[in-house]
Amino acid sequence: MATYYGKTHVRAKSMYDDSDEDDYTVPIPEGLTEYFEPSKPVTYEQSLAWLTDGIEPYPGYADEYNEWDKAWEMVNRAQAEADGHPYLVLPTAHPQPDFDDDGRPADFDDPEIVVNPDSGLAKLYVDEDVETEDEDTED
């Protein structure tokens, strides 16, 4: 069954629409351009190498790009907040290792892929000699 989410106004905007209507209601920092403009000239080949392989056209290019990208991220977050749709920011999780009863880090026996050097066939090997907690509780 379909869920009714209420009415909303949808406005289609053509790429040819040159209206002066501003989509942002929050202030955009001075000098923040819509498209990234590096401080030094960059050729098409250098831009392509940056986009595909991560090769900087000149030292500091990545820093300039990251600063520009971070500035737009802050503007977009502020706009989302102003529109009543704040971002959900969760704290970073720092996983801790599991410890056994003696206080040593637990070593889990993960399955391994073993390749037979003679035949070239691979098979999954699981150490079955290791008892698990489920096996200990069986009566």
Whole-model pTM: value is: 0.51
Give dist(CA 16, CA 19) in Å, integer: 9
Give dist(CA 114, CA 126) in Å, integer: 10
Structure confidence at residue 67 (pLDDT):
93
Domain range summary for the chain, segments of one domain joined by +: 26-91
User: Any idea which residue has 């001075």 for tokens?
Assistant: 30
In tens, the pLDDT along 45-100 reads 999 999 999 899 999 999 999 999 999 999 998 988 888 888 887 788 777 777 77
